[in-house]
Amino acid sequence: MDLETPYLVFLGDAKDALAAKTGQGIVDWRPEAVAGQLRLPGCYADLGVADLSIQQAAEAGTRTFLIGVVNPGGVLPKQWQGVIVEALAAGLDVANGLHTPLDSIPEIIEAARRSDRRLIETRRPAGPFPVASGRQRTGKRLLTVGTDCSVGKKYAALAIERELVARNVAADFRATGQTGILIAGSGIPIDAVVADFAAGAAETLSPDNDPDHWDVVEGQGSLFHPSFAGVSLALLHGTQPDAFVVCHEPTRKTMRNVDAPIAGIDAVIEQTMVLGRLTNPAVRCVGIALNTSELDAGGASRTIEQTRRQFGVPVCDPVRHGVEAIVDEMLP
């Protein structure tokens, strides 16, 4: 799945900034890929980039109309269909991460066919993928793992890629979820792959590379999340990481959406080591990324210091302080 840039980021009639979180992520992490935004009447979000009509965007060389807004239930509202048809007619691909597939709407299929443009579903894996071989690949890999879902695994991976590139280390962020895919412009929605091929898809995502190149792979779920641990394990085995970072939200008590306590950092480190060694005997923990957004500055510093003393590895909040200490630990 490869998206062509630059993007016109569509915000629809987003009720607030949170609804435009996907678009914001793209502007934050891939500003050079964004030509502008398109907002409908009633839109209360603003990404701080140029407002462009579809005509203006097409004239400016925009290649992809990217739906950067989430709607309640992930449904595509009827009032967006006209704009999507217009974008296709103007020669743009359309990329969609909503639950409603674009090719479930006859008007949109017909418009794509007429202008020979692509409808790109970031929830739908490209495939087919092979069964994982377990063969050791060349190049280096880091995987972000978690004590739960939604603890900052994507953000930590993006921050690590950025820091590596800033130090002139060859690196690629490898997206495994739909928002990550829209940010990176490519990737595999690993949880949508048939279970038998999930580890094989992870192998495909981070192929052989130069010896000093780092693939920084976005983690999913948690080995201790009862709904998604199988996905996390397939991703661990397929990625065969040399290094992993444990992501954790220190104020959270229970796993998201299930009645289970959040996993301990110690348990996640231990299991990731034991299970990760299967495909990479040299796997090691190079740091802990704490999401301290629920704490004040003093509380965040105390928690980070305490965690560092407890585990003896670099600990940072990627949002507050960056990931320099983790990258220091990764590199020789």
Q: Write out the residues near a copy of itself by the rule CB under 8 A.
A: 131-135, 190-196, 198-200, 223-224, 226-235, 237, 255, 257-260, 267, 271, 274-275, 278-279
Q: Residue 150 CB, nearest distance to a copy of itself (Å)?
A: 14
What span, in angstroms and rounded, lies between the C-alpha atoms of 67 and 51? 15
Query: Which lies closer to a copy of itself via its Cβ, residue 17 or residue 192?
Result: 192
Q: Residue 20 CB, nearest distance to a copy of itself (Å)?
A: 25
Nearest to 69 by CA among 45, 48, 53: 45
Q: Residue 263 CB, nearest distance to a copy of itself (Å)?
A: 8
Q: Residue 329 CB, nearest distance to a copy of itself (Å)?
A: 26
Q: Residue 233 CB, nearest distance to a copy of itself (Å)?
A: 5
CA distances from 152 to 52, 112, 250 (A): 31, 36, 12
Query: Which lies closer to a copy of itself via its Cβ, residue 101 or residue 322?
Result: 101
Neighbours of 137 (CB within 10 A): 17
What are the start-end ranges of the H helices in 8-93? 21-29, 54-59, 81-89
Report the alpha-carbon angle 269-287-168, nearest 5: 135
Query: Which lies closer to a copy of itself via its Cβ, residue 144 or residue 222?
Result: 222
Q: Residue 153 CB, nearest distance to a copy of itself (Å)?
A: 16
Nearest to 37 by CA among 59, 3, 16, 6: 6
Q: Residue 235 CB, nearest distance to a copy of itself (Å)?
A: 8
Nearest to 115 by CA among 95, 87, 88: 88
What span, in angstroms and rounded, lies between the C-alpha atoms of 137 and 29? 28
Query: Which lies closer to a copy of itself via its Cβ, residue 38 or residue 234?
Result: 234
Residue in the structure block whose two tokens are 């690629």: 172
Q: Tokens at residue 247, please?
A: 């992501």
| Residue 8 contacts residue 62 (beta carbons within 8 Å) | yes
Query: Which lies closer to a copy of itself via its Cβ, residue 267 or residue 319?
Result: 267
Query: Which lies closer to a copy of itself via its Cβ, residue 19 or residue 132?
Result: 132
CA distances from 332 to 57, 85, 326 (A): 45, 51, 12
Query: Which lies closer to a copy of itself via its Cβ, residue 99 or residue 114?
Result: 99
